[in-house]
Amino acid sequence: MKKNFTMAAPKALPKKRCGIFKKAARFLLLFVILILIAVLGLNACVVYSGGKSIVTKKAAEGLTADCILVPGCGVHGYTPSLMLQDRLDTAVSLYKAGKVKKIIVSGDHREDDYNEVGVMKAYAMKQGVPGSAGFMDHEGYCTYDSLYLAKNKFGCQSVIIVTQPYHLYRALYTASALGLTASGVAASGNNYKGQLFRDLREIAARNKDFLTTAFLREKPYSGTTVSLQQSGNVTNDAAFTRICKAMQVQPNE
């Protein structure tokens, strides 16, 4: 005699448990929306505030400041990346045509075989900037560090920052938050691969620097200070001498 077997219908979750799951999902969605609003809000604040200090290169030629500041953004051996080359070309042109006669190149030199600032200064010298006018900040690992050290290591009170437009908003906002008087000039050139990724990454970076300047209380700089009244060659080192030899530049000219 055959027996009939039937599949039992799955038991529905208790209404109470279903309600808990729905509430948790709504709470999570609300939390994500609030975070997104906060992130985009802080981003907009940095863009609005920093954007007020962006000027044309022509206008910047009539400004006075302690220095022109060029943040690093990558080198390939002894060659600046395309973005960095555009920054340096714009800064050198501003130096030659304007009133500000000191340039600080700030970048990463934490490794012996990677020297952003050495390549940056040597490149500027090849374009006609005397070594005495170029100062190297070997510890400019990020935008905040570059501006913090411009103020606390080099004693700057006013700067003209040269970098790409997407980065300029954050650099100018950070400079102002650190108590620097800053103007910004957009580097010439804009045909860079991967710009969408940089734009998205910059949103996070703007939030980071907003929170850093808001909550990280500035500490006195405990390193060696450098006066811009002396020759920029005081920041030269053995690594820079090797770079100059490879790029056919006299290191102390």
The structure's pTM equals: 0.88
- Distance (Å) of CA 123 to CA 2, 98, 117: 92, 19, 10
Q: How far apart are CA 197 and CA 237, in angstroms?
A: 35
- Angle among Cα 101, 105, 107 to the nearest 5 degrees reads 170
Percent over 70 (pLDDT), the chain: 92
Instruction: Give the mean pLDDT of 41-49.
Output: 96
Give the rounded distance of the alpha carbon of 249 from its chain centre: 28
pLDDT at 189: 75
| Two structure tokens written together for 181 | 């008087």
Q: By the 8 A CB rule, do 73 and 82 touch? A: no
What secondary structure letter does DSSP report for 237?
-
Instruction: Give the mean pLDDT of 68-81.
Output: 95
Average pLDDT, the chain: 90
Q: How far apart are CA 128 and CA 89, in angstroms?
A: 11
pLDDT at 174: 97
pLDDT at 104: 98
pLDDT at 9: 52
Tell me the pLDDT band of 21, cut-offs 50, 70 and 90.
Answer: confident
Q: How far apart are CA 111 and CA 203, in angstroms?
A: 28
Instruction: Give the mean pLDDT of 148-159.
Output: 96
pLDDT at 11: 55
pLDDT at 139: 92
